[in-house]
């Protein structure tokens, strides 16, 4: 796994949230986990699903998830070589977290014309926020 941020090496003031996020932070890790929830995928299948990520970054993010025990990597001894990635049992426990993020994004983010933005806050959302606070 990558080295934790300097501020996180001694203690986690936001524990357990901060410590949990230290394992799944990274621009692509959440998206990788989202796609692996559907099942085992080959490296190139993941690359096709994430066209904006470079091969180097995807490899690094997958290795960090593997080191954390969230993703498993299986190398098949065939020609050409085949590598499969899947969620481990620990990785599958992240399903509710990833599904909650997907639901929040579906409800609150608008993606159109190559841009993304948050939806305008309406009275209903403001009331819900007041109820939580």
CATH number at residue 64: 1.10.10.10
83 sits in which H/E element: strand 82-87
- Residue 89 pLDDT: 97
Please state the domain count of the chain.
Answer: 1
* pTM of the full structure: 0.77
Confirm whether 6 is domain-assigned.
Answer: no
Closest to 66 in 3D by CA, of 44, 48, 43: 43
Range of the domain at 107: 16-130
Q: How many residues does the chain have?
A: 133
Confirm whether 1 is domain-assigned.
Answer: no
Tokens of 123: 């009275």
- Residue 1 pLDDT: 44
pLDDT tens sequence for the chain (133 residues): 455 454 545 665 668 888 888 888 889 999 999 999 999 999 999 999 999 999 999 999 999 999 999 999 999 999 988 999 999 999 999 999 999 999 999 988 888 887 888 887 767 667 777 887 7
Confirm whether 5 is domain-assigned.
Answer: no
């Amino acid at each position: 796994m990558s080295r934790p941020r300097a501020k996180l090496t001694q203690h986690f003031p936001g524990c357990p949230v901060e410590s949990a996020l230290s394992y799944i932070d990274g621009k692509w890790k959440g998206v990788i986990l989202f796609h692996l929830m559907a099942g085992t995928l080959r490296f190139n299948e993941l690359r096709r699903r994430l066209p904006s990520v470079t091969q180097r970054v995807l490899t690094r993010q997958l290795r960090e998830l593997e080191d954390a025990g969230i993703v498993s990597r299986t190398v098949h001894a065939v020609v050409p070589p085949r590598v499969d990635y899947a969620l481990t049992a620990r990785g599958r426990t992240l399903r509710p977290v990833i599904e909650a993020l997907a639901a929040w994004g579906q409800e609150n983010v608008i993606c159109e014309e190559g841009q993304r933005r948050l939806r305008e806050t309406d009275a209903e959302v403001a009331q819900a926020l007041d109820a939580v606070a």
